[in-house]
Structure 1
Amino acid sequence: MILFSLDKHTTPADFLSVQRARFADCSANTQSPQVFTVAFSHNASYLSEQPQQELLAFVWLAVSCDSASNPSISVSIFPATTEHLRAIEQLAAEPEAILAYCEAANLAHVRLDLPLLLEPIYIPKPWGQEIWYTGIEARGQAAVKCDRGSLPLPWVLEFLRPQLGLAATDNLILLKILDPLAEAPYGDLYFELHEQKQEVYVVTHVDATAWPGGKGAIQLGFNPAARANYATTDDFKAGYLHAVREYEQTRRAIDDLLDRKKQELGISLSEPVAVTQVKLWLKELSQHPDNKALIDREQELKQAMDRFIALHPLEVGDVVAVPRLVPHALQHGVRVVEFQTPVYERRILSFGQKVLTQNHWDTEVALQLVDMDAEPFISPVQLAHTDSAQIQRIVNFDDFEVQRIVLKGDCQLSVSCYGLLMVLEGSVCIDDTLIASGNVALLPAQVTPQVLYSSSAVLLWAIPRSG
């Protein structure tokens, strides 16, 4: 089999584009599938310890049922080991031989001309966990579900970036689930704001034990009643900053005591610890009168600090758009789907536990940036209402939008680059691909327009802003 080694100026997507064009030109004379092997360097800049990965890929092209000019495309991507390179030299350039090798070597492969089902990665947090469907970071990378397993999402993107409208350093809209613990304060998120990132939350579950009435909460912005107690906004900010600093001092004293417990057991200081263990440590620490006074003081100061912050109720189906510069903190026991700008930056104003990812809070800087008067609760805009589909635009940011689709029949989706489709309830079919409840599909531009069909489904559909 011929091995195509790509130079640094030729991307896998470039190679695929050329081969597709050649296949289309000759498909009138032959219906035979074509198979290629490609060697290329993947710039894994998200992995600080290994910025370059040498990879191999099998690429299959076959006439699709639609047209010869739009062939079916399958790929299998794997490390360029000496063993694989030697085996490829002996392989015949025939689909059957390649498929047999993939099976023997346990190599996954996927169709690129169909919706790509995404496999999430679970990221532990001190307040619970994040479930990333499109996240690509050193902490973890999402994947694409395949025959015989999965492929890392960043590897697959090497073949799709032009169809997704992504430059070499661009990322997909970040889609994840925030899954906090159900107990306060351990399941409460950071109270933070963003300078670049925009987020939208869709509430999918409220823990009945934590919130017996069915309504959870989110800290969002500042309390108007508390602001009314101050003559000016600057006075209010100064009062809040004083409350935070008093709380932070006590918080850090407790965290130092808990860190000693970690060190005694050989646990990394940056590693989350189970709530049951933390509670046991606090119970043990509180046996000492000075420690008990410190723990009691922390609770009093947290209540005083939180009086400055607005607390808004949330129930299943609610949507919260979080614009830039608006501080927010999802509360315990409220699970949400989150779409956000794919950048990592934040300013932490406060947190009811030790922050594991940085050694400081950003309260003073954040208060200089904060938008005190933004309105994050935006009414959805009705885009379509038929017997088969109801479509609402639930957020309309300058870099992406998200629609909620209630489907009872068919609906056509069309985008210029890509879309992310998450099924909240029911299931949906796109062509021959079934997307079940809880699953997420990436639809490149060449996959759309496509007709969705379902007898009953609730979907979220996110698309980037072109240009």
Structure 2
Amino acid sequence: MARVYSSEHPHTWVKQQIARLLESPLSSRCFVLQVVHRQTYLSPETAISLLAPVVLEKTGNTVQIFAAILPDTDSARESLTALASTPRDFENFATEHHLPWLNLQAPLNLKPVFIAKPWGREVWYTGIEVRGQSLIEAQGQVIPLPWLLAVFPFVLANEELQQVADDLILLKILDPLPDDVYGDLYFEVHDEKREVYVVTAVDENAWPAGYGAIRLGFDQEKRQSCQDDEAFRRAYLQSVQRYREVRVAIDEQFDQRRVAEGLALLQPVSADTLKRWQDELPAGLQEQEKSLRQQMDAFTALQPLKVGDVVKIPCGVPHALQHGVRTVEFQTPVYERNILSFAQKVLTQTAWDTEKALPGVSLDQPDSLQLDVLQQQPGKYTLEQVAAFDDFVVQRLTLLAGQTFDWLNDGRYALLLLIQGKLALQSAAWSQHLDAADAINPASLVPATLSRLHLRASAGDAIILLARPVDSAPLLRNS
């Protein structure tokens, strides 16, 4: 019969069970682990008791860890304690109860949660907060990512971690609508926060030529046409203010529509609804809004983007990702921004920051980006440094068709996201396949318990992002 063990330190407890199995003549060990998880990311904060049926399987001097996780209920305990302590019975329990049966020495599929935005949505692969929690998926079933980290913190690091969820790198995608007005993000500037974008998709209907864009900095010809930089700043500010007056007038009318249709004033409204309201405005007001917006945007510069491109946003440089351009966003953990303009109502603040922020904004066009090449074998692969923040680094691996690459773990996790192509992930005991043509780019949490991962571009060239904590620089080498 299966036994239930409680532990406040699951990391240490599971390691002890592995050591005992290695010292014994048995080939496996099965048990149920009970852990109380404090859901600090919820409001109000709550605690939940979780049960994890765990199987340890020994092959030589290595131990494989398999597990499921479910809420601790009387019926769950009764079913689990009635099980025979065999790997097959534990796995069958997970199948019968529609739970993912996880191999903790294999990449764990990240199933994202989608967060609505005025310009589209954010796709969170590792988000853990009150607005949403990402998921872990296997066999078509899911569990919340924070449950995995609470019960098995060693998937992130071989050493004890005090704040596992807080240490996890945020992997998210900005997914703007393909609409050429309502899909454009805020034109904003940061004083401290550094951002890096990596393009994962360009909507072919919005950008038939295959190149999208980001609004980045200011138009240098327009700048040179002014007497000096102060004159350029004044002209730009006046243009923004003229557009702002019309924007406020339109948004006030839209607020009346919100009330009439039973919507809260700060509730996000779909682009289709906003376009319907826009079409019902007087024709003269519609033309005025469009003309003033185009005049304002003429002060700024557009940089073309294709799939796989990297954009680093320097502090002080205004930017706005454009409609239909999906990107991964990595950023420093600082929440601050100044909104210079937006082609719809800002729901998070009542006014724009143009006048306050403009004196400190850089008017220079950012330098062309050159990524540092870390490793390269012509005709096989290129590994480049995308970003190096204080707590994590990001690399881009371009793996040519049919080529293979070995990833060697050094005791910490990694996040893997496939941008382009098809990728086979393999080890001696299992294999997985990722396809960037899926509706949303596939991503995996590569656990610290995985010592070696074999990557192969199985159809065409593959572009892969790898993000890792800085105290474990990635060990990647060609096989």
Q: TM-score range by the shorter chain?
A: 0.7 to 0.9
Aligned residue for 1:452? Answer: 455
Amino acid aligned to 1:58: P
Q: What secondary structure does 1:55 align onto?
A: strand
Match of 1:405 among 390, 398, 409: 398
Match of 2:443 among 431, 440, 444: 440
Between the aligned partners of 1:2 and 1:325, the Cα distance in structure 2 is 59
Aligned residue for 1:122? Answer: 114
| Structure 1 residues 41 and 293, CA gap change in structure 2 (3 angstroms) | farther
Between the aligned partners of 2:349 and 2:173, the Cα distance in structure 1 is 22
User: Please, which moves more after superposition, 150-159 or 192-201?
Assistant: 192-201
Between the aligned partners of 2:306 and 2:175, the Cα distance in structure 1 is 15
> Mapping of 1:53-452 within 5 angstroms?
53-64=48-59, 67-68=60-61, 70-147=62-139, 149-165=141-157, 167-168=162-163, 169-195=165-191, 197-229=193-225, 233=229, 236-286=232-282, 292-341=283-332, 344-367=335-358, 370-373=361-364, 375=366, 377-386=368-377, 389-398=380-389, 399-407=392-400, 408-416=402-410, 417-423=412-418, 424-431=420-427, 432-438=430-436, 439-452=442-455
| CA displacement 1:184-214 (0-9 Å, x = unmatched) | 1111111123455433323343334433443
| Structure 1 residues 262 and 316, CA gap change in structure 2 (3 angstroms) | same
Aligned residue for 1:39? Answer: 34
Question: Offset at 1:224?
Answer: 2.6
| Structure 1 residues 53 and 374, CA gap change in structure 2 (3 angstroms) | farther
Amino acid aligned to 1:412: D
Question: Offset at 1:331?
Answer: 0.9
Q: What secondary structure does 1:285 align onto?
A: coil
Residue 35 of structure 2 contacts residue 151 of structure 2 at CA under 8 Å; is this kept in 1? no
Corresponding position: 1:18 with 2:10: no
Match of 2:43 among 48, 57, 63: 48
Question: Offset at 1:57?
Answer: 1.7
Residue 177 of structure 1 contacts residue 338 of structure 1 at CA under 8 Å; is this kept in 2? yes
Residue 321 of structure 1 contacts residue 376 of structure 1 at CA under 8 Å; is this kept in 2? no
Aligned residue for 2:476? Answer: none
What is the identity percentage for the equivalent residue pairs of Structure 1 and Structure 2?
Answer: 38
| CA displacement 1:393-433 (0-9 Å, x = unmatched) | 15132332222322432211234422222222022222122
| CA displacement 1:268-291 (0-9 Å, x = unmatched) | 4444333332222222232xxxxx
User: Please, which moves more after superposition, 399-408 or 84-93?
Assistant: 84-93
Between the aligned partners of 1:300 and 1:167, the Cα distance in structure 2 is 55
Q: What secondary structure does 1:244 align onto?
A: helix
Q: What secondary structure does 1:303 align onto?
A: helix
| CA displacement 1:3-37 (0-9 Å, x = unmatched) | 22233xx2x333323322332232xx111x21222
User: Please, which moves more after superposition, 381-390 or 252-261?
Assistant: 381-390
Between the aligned partners of 1:62 and 1:193, the Cα distance in structure 2 is 53
Residue 95 of structure 2 contacts residue 101 of structure 2 at CA under 8 Å; is this kept in 1? no
| CA displacement 1:102-147 (0-9 Å, x = unmatched) | 3333222211111111112222322222222222232222211123
Amino acid aligned to 1:4: Y
Aligned residue for 1:461? Answer: 465
Residue 149 of structure 2 contacts residue 155 of structure 2 at CA under 8 Å; is this kept in 1? no
Between the aligned partners of 2:374 and 2:130, the Cα distance in structure 1 is 39
Residue 126 of structure 2 contacts residue 169 of structure 2 at CA under 8 Å; is this kept in 1? yes
Question: Offset at 1:336?
Answer: 2.7
Residue 174 of structure 1 contacts residue 342 of structure 1 at CA under 8 Å; is this kept in 2? no
Q: What secondary structure does 1:447 align onto?
A: coil
Amino acid aligned to 1:215: Y
Amino acid aligned to 1:2: R
Amino acid aligned to 1:352: A
Aligned residue for 1:289? Answer: none
Between the aligned partners of 1:297 and 1:151, the Cα distance in structure 2 is 50
Q: State the TM-score, normalizing by the size of structure 2.
A: 0.84
Between the aligned partners of 1:324 and 1:411, the Cα distance in structure 2 is 35
| Structure 1 residues 434 and 301, CA gap change in structure 2 (3 angstroms) | same
Amino acid aligned to 2:3: I
Between the aligned partners of 1:269 and 1:237, the Cα distance in structure 2 is 33
Aligned residue for 1:2? Answer: 3
Between the aligned partners of 1:323 and 1:78, the Cα distance in structure 2 is 44
| Structure 1 residues 457 and 265, CA gap change in structure 2 (3 angstroms) | same
Q: What secondary structure does 2:175 align onto?
A: strand
Between the aligned partners of 2:341 and 2:162, the Cα distance in structure 1 is 36
After superposition, the CA RMSD in angstroms is 2.9
Question: Offset at 1:232?
Answer: 5.8
What are the ranges of 5 or more consecutive residues in structure 1 without an aligned counterpart? 287-291
Residue 60 of structure 1 contacts residue 74 of structure 1 at CA under 8 Å; is this kept in 2? yes
Residue 118 of structure 1 contacts residue 145 of structure 1 at CA under 8 Å; is this kept in 2? yes
Between the aligned partners of 2:464 and 2:330, the Cα distance in structure 1 is 10
Residue 110 of structure 1 contacts residue 147 of structure 1 at CA under 8 Å; is this kept in 2? no
Aligned residues: 453
Between the aligned partners of 1:418 and 1:193, the Cα distance in structure 2 is 32
What are the ranges of 5 or more consecutive residues in structure 2 without an aligned counterpart? 437-441, 472-479
Between the aligned partners of 1:404 and 1:303, the Cα distance in structure 2 is 38
| CA displacement 1:20-58 (0-9 Å, x = unmatched) | 2332232xx111x21222222223222223443332222
Between the aligned partners of 1:195 and 1:14, the Cα distance in structure 2 is 42
